[in-house]
Amino acid sequence: MSGAATGPLTGSGARLRRGAVSLQSISKSFGAQNVLKQISLDIASGEFLTILGPSGCGKSTLLRIIAGLETQDWGTVSIDGQVVDHLRPAARIIAMVFQSYALYPHLSVLDNISMPLRLSRLNMLQRLPGARYLHPGTRRAEGEIKEAARAVAGILRIEELLARKPRQLSGGQKQRVALGRAMVREPRVFLMDEPLSNLDAELRVHMRAEIAQLHRRLATTFIYVTHDQAEAMTMSDRIVVMMEGTALQVAPPKEIYENPNDLSVARFVGSPAINVLPGTIESDGSIDVLGARLRLRTTLPAGARVDIAARPHVLSATAHTDAPTVTGRVVHVENLGADIFVHVGVEGAPAPVVMRHDPALALTPSLGDQLTMVLPPARVLVFDDRGRRVSASSDASVEQHAHV
């Protein structure tokens, strides 16, 4: 089972490192529709990688290609340095947790968890009912399998459910059984396809923590597909943001949030969504945003159109300042307790600008108020007209000049 796990990632310690996945130019189309466009990705052994994207972006297809349930049109999938394109799912030594859990409805929890081991360790004759009474070797193997299944059930704290059928379980219990079935075969890689989306909100938060703990405990590669940014942000070592079949950015959660390389990524991650305002490069190189002048240096020529994006918590209200500001009327106030989000209708902005307001501050803006907000140049993000991130450095000389 460990024979495949040789390669550059074999760890320095005594423990064999395995589960490094490498995708090379994976492409896939269904009919005329290109679902995946040249996806290349290297996933390190033991990493928790989340593929995040809206529904229909190709993230599940990519996962199914890694699993061997779908065949790519182009490109290769390798696990631990070995090309696995020709291998059936079971031969790839991976495990998958499905959105609907996919438990065998006619089998008990114990049998569900045991199934992958029964299929890999027992031959067809041994799996026949009653074989254990005729053949001591089968009896021993069955005993070992049951032992392994019980051990997994112990880790997941579902020992008392082993005799039940799936229909007698709650959603969270089914989820644990599905995890158990994945764990029991000690896979090189866990593949999870929206495993929490059928749970209610509270349980989802709880299972999020459990899966993260499980990952730390098993130290195995997890590839996790979701459309829920909270899941991606809280559990992952790295996130792949996918849109329309393309991997837009691969980076740790903090980086994805603070430093998105594409406007789509910036818009998709973060709640409430990032504010996007139209801007133009002026002749002196600074950026004009609805009358505010951001003293930033970019490589773009004068006259180029750009989009300026600022997260709600970056904005702040002010009475009078030298810093660039935008002004508008408060159209809506959302009080979430720990945060207050103020929606401000700014003339020229495509949508109301959302600003986080600290409830600790004395004056909470109310509906209809005139509000002036500071756009701190160092903290806004600049994107070109194709949505690509443009590096922008604050121009010290310009700024100094303004202060004098």
Partner 1 sequence: MSRDASQPVTGVAGVPSRRHGHRAVAAVLAGPALVLIVLFLIGPLACVALLSLTDYQLGAATLNYVGGKNYAEMFSDRVFQKSLTNTLLYVAITVPGSVLLGLGAALLIEADRGLRTFYRAIYFLPVMATLIAMSIVWEFMLHPQFGIVNQLVKALGLSRIDWLQNQSVVLFTLCGIGIWQSLGFNMVLFMAGLTSIPKDLYEAAAVDGANSAIDRFRLVTWPMLGPVTLFVVVITAIRSFQVFDTVQVLTKGGPNKASEVLLYTMYSEGFEFFRSGYASAVTVVFLVFVLALSALKVFVLDKRVHYA
Partner 2 sequence: MTGNRLGPFARILRHVVLMTLAVVIVAPFVWMVLCSFKTQSEILSAEIRIIPHTWAAVENYTAALTRVPMLRFLLNGVIVTLVIFLLQVLVNLPAAYALAKLRFRGRSAFLGLVLLCLLIPVHATAIPTYIMFYKAGLLNTYASLILPFTISVFGIFLMRQFFMTVPDDLIDAARVDGMSEIGIVWRVMLPTAVPALVAFGIFSVVAHWNDYFWPLIVVADQALYTPPLGVAFFRLNDQGTSYGPLMAAATISIAPLVIAFLLAQRRFIEGITLTGMKA
Name every residue whose Cβ is closer than 8 Å to that of residue 179 and which is 6 or more positions away in sequence: 97, 156, 195, 211, 214
Residue 72 or residue 229: which is nearer to partner 2 going by CB? 72
Shortest CB 169 distance to partner 2, Å: 15
Among 29, 22, 23, which Cα is nearest to 245's?
A: 29
b/e map of 156-169 (b: 16 or more CB within 10 Å)?
bebeebbebbbeeb
Q: Please report how close the Cβ of residue 288 comes to partner 1 at its closest, in angstroms.
A: 44
By CB under 8 A, is residue 99 in contact with partner 2? yes
- Contact flags string 29-68 toward partner 1, x per CB under 8 A: -----------x----------------------------
By CB under 8 A, name the one of 72, 108, 114, 226 that touches partner 1.
Answer: 72
What is the smallest separation between the CB atom of 82 and partner 2, expressed in angstroms? Answer: 18
* Contact stretch for partner 1 (CB under 8 A) within 69-77, 231-239, 370-378, 392-400: 69-77
Q: How far is the CB of 17 from partner 2 (least distance, A)?
A: 23
Q: Are 67 and 94 in contact (CB under 8 A)?
A: yes
With binding defined as CB under 8 A, does residue 64 bind partner 2? yes
Of the candidate residues 9, 87, 102, 155, the single one contacting partner 2 (CB under 8 A): 102
CA distance 345 to 144: 67
Identify the sign of the CA torsion 161, 162, 168, 170: positive
Q: How far is the CB of 242 from partner 2 (least distance, A)?
A: 20
DSSP lists the bridge partners of residue 64 as none
Cβ partners under 8 Å of residue 273, min gap 6: 267, 354
Per-residue tokens: 22: 């490498």
Nearer to partner 2, 60 or 275 (CB): 60
The two tokens of residue 23 are 């995708």
In angstroms, the CA 19 to CA 46 distance is: 7
Of 19-27, 53-61, 92-100, 199-207, the window that binds partner 1 (rule: CB under 8 A) is: 19-27
Binders of partner 1 in range 372-391 (CB under 8 A): none
3-state secondary structure (DSSP) of residue 50: strand
Q: Does 328 contact partner 2 by CB under 8 A?
A: no
Question: Does 110 participate in binding partner 2 (rule CB under 8 A)?
Answer: no
